[in-house]
Amino acid sequence: MGADGLDGVWLDTPTEGRVLHGDLVVDLLEVTQAGAFRRERVVVGAATVERGAVHVPFRSIRASRGRRYRLDIRHVRAEPGPSIMLAATRDDALPGAMLIADGVEQWGDLVLETTSRRATLPFWLHEVLAPWPPWLRSPGPVAAVVVLLNVLLLWACGLACRTRSRNAVRTRAARSTLSTGVNLRRMATGVIGLATVCGLLIVLSPTTRLTSLDLVAALPEARLDTSWPSLHAGISIQPVIFEHVRYPSIVAMPTSRIAWKLDVPKGAVFRGGAAMRPDVWLSNSDGVQMSVTVEHALGRTVMAHLTLFPLGVEAHRKLFPLEVPLHPWAGQRVTLVLETTPERWGNAVNDVPVWTSPRVEWPRREGTVVLAKATR
């Protein structure tokens, strides 16, 4: 969007009715090669955050492009009463941003917001059209709808502005023109009626008998562990293409472990895919191991295990579908774990394993999955 500058930060703490005490100290630091120096400090009463998001203003920075900034937020004098907990977002990861709490990197993203005097196309796509299906709110269909509406508006204005002489003799040509106008109006009415009927059919169409929990969207609720120096560098959300099909995927560089705690309904099944990312199939790699494990009250059960070596085995150059039944633990709280490790001697060079469209599906009549937040 070409946005540049910085004038504040929004703090939104889900307090869930708790009474907060003390202050929030917000420091804005600029990071340079010589180190980080503080540009400004703002102190906000913690009680003001209980009512929802609060804006902490800074002196306006109009040229931030190419510079690095750091925000330090501390909750001081929290006694008596609870402290503010960390809540991650479900937005896209910013590779250059890190979220650190109590000295430990956490999974979470900074949400950047820009303001404008006029509504912009990204605002319409992401805010106004958010309830629409994803394919319908992509730029192509939106542009087609705008063009169609403008054409119809132009045609309607042309009909409304056309004048006829009261004394004009209704010749055969005039009657033909009038008939043409009537036909055009009928055709427009038919098109609008057909679009309305199609929209109603889409809205009223029966849903599938299955419902699902998208584990890509639920990644912030998982417990993440990786041997990589940065959490986002080791585990990230990326779209991956296999045979001209685009899959939402989790890239988990070895060694990485992703664990969700969930209450399993009857008939639940884990589905997804496992593969090495296609761009590294012919790279110098000794392979990777990928496993799906269920940790339950009686121990640990490995439900699927793959060793992928696409450089040496041509059959490994594809996406492997996974289907893991979870019905043995129906009604129990378990931990579903996706784990990736190097194949030999801990060598992870050119190993880029991906989990495509991981999800838990179960019959709609069985209710919903309760996803427990991971303890950080």
Amino acid 165: pLDDT = 41
Amino acid 166: pLDDT = 40
Amino acid 164: pLDDT = 47
3-state DSSP call for residue 85? coil
pTM of the entire predicted model: 0.61
Q: Which DSSP category does 222 fall into?
A: S
Amino acid 77: pLDDT = 74
Amino acid 78: pLDDT = 66
* CA-closest candidate to residue 58, choices 133, 8, 119: 8
Amino acid 52: pLDDT = 65
Taking the C-alpha atoms of residue 24 and residue 361, their distance in angstroms, rounded to an integer, is 42
* CA-closest candidate to residue 13, choices 83, 69, 78, 81: 83
Taking the C-alpha atoms of residue 56 and residue 250, their distance in angstroms, rounded to an integer, is 34
Amino acid 146: pLDDT = 78
Can you count the helices (H) and strands (E) in the chain? 4, 19
pLDDT in tens, 37-69: 999 999 988 777 766 678 888 998 888 878 888
Taking the C-alpha atoms of residue 167 and residue 90, their distance in angstroms, rounded to an integer, is 68
Asked if 278 and 318 count as a contact pair (C-beta separation under 8 A), the reply is: no
Q: Which residues of the chain have pLDDT under 70?
A: 1-3, 13-18, 50-52, 78, 85-96, 107-132, 134, 137, 160, 162-184, 202-209, 344-346, 366-370, 372-376
pLDDT in tens, 163-199: 444 444 445 455 555 566 566 677 777 777 787 777 7
Amino acid 46: pLDDT = 79
Which residues make beta-bridge pairs with 11?
A: 54
What is the DSSP pairing of strand 333-342 with strand 288-296? antiparallel
Taking the C-alpha atoms of residue 119 and residue 113, their distance in angstroms, rounded to an integer, is 14
Q: What is the dihedral of CA 121, 122, 127, 133, to 10 degrees?
A: 90
Taking the C-alpha atoms of residue 204 and residue 353, their distance in angstroms, rounded to an integer, is 40
3-state DSSP call for residue 45? strand
Taking the C-alpha atoms of residue 95 and residue 227, their distance in angstroms, rounded to an integer, is 17
